[in-house]
Chains A and B, each alone.
Chain A
Amino acid sequence: GAGVSQSPRYKVAKRGQDVALRCDPISGHVSLFWYQQALGQGPEFLTYFQNEAQLDKSGLPSDRFFAERPEGSVSTLKIQRTQQEDSAVYLCASSFPTSGVYEQYFGPGTRLTVT
């Protein structure tokens, strides 16, 4: 069955470049989450969508980070003017219910390296 997919799996960016990371959630899942996982750490919440509405972006570390989900399915996380501290694995997760706490299904992540 189709799980959460993310692309690209690996991205190397020069400092100052803009990057766009894509997430395809499980079909029919209305909730979508982005997390950032630094090396040796647990994932940290970035932002949350319910359908196309971004309901929580409290975890975005700076205004260089921007996420969208215009049609309520595919989501893109964009990082402008990348910095070395942005190097991490970016994980996308989706969940079916519109409310309530249920398990999230994670994609394989995009490993971003900023040089």
Chain B
Amino acid sequence: AQKVTQAQTEISVVEKEDVTLDCVYETRDTTYYLFWYKQPPSGELVFLIRRNSFDEQNEISGRYSWNFQKSTSSFNFTITASQVVDSAVYFCALSEGYTSGTYKYIFGTGTRLKVLA
């Protein structure tokens, strides 16, 4: 069955430190998609990135970078030079739409990031 594990419940860092959020997934499908979302205190989930199972290239967007490794079923997220505004709960999600036909997300339990000034 599909599953997403975010083992880090809460991480605290001091501003300007780099931080990596871990995500490990389980799926039987060869075609699947992975996502990261940010949930600030306001509660609205904000889309950050989508990655399909055939694209293992790492991606960088400003201070954000993502490392996708199929061999270890991981899709980790790194924030470089963290800022207080990065404080939020971050969710990793998996979608196996091509099998289920539903395109629903399976979410991890989230990692709460606190960036201290």
Contact = CB atoms under 8 A, between A and B. Distances in A.
Q: Do chains A and B interact in one complex?
A: yes
Contacts of B106: 45
A85 interface: no
A23 to B, nearest CB: 13
A107 B104 CA distance: 16
A89 interface: yes
A31 B103 contact: yes
Most buried by B among A55, A59, A89, A103: A103
Q: Sort chain B's interface into a size bin.
A: 20 to 34
Given A42-B109, A101-B98, A109 B43 contact: yes
B33 to A, nearest CB: 4
B91 A42 contact: yes
Q: Sort chain A's interface into a size bin.
A: 20 to 34
Interface in A1-48: 31, 33, 35, 40-45, 48
Interface of B: 4, 32-33, 35, 37, 42-47, 50, 52, 91, 93, 95, 97-98, 100-110
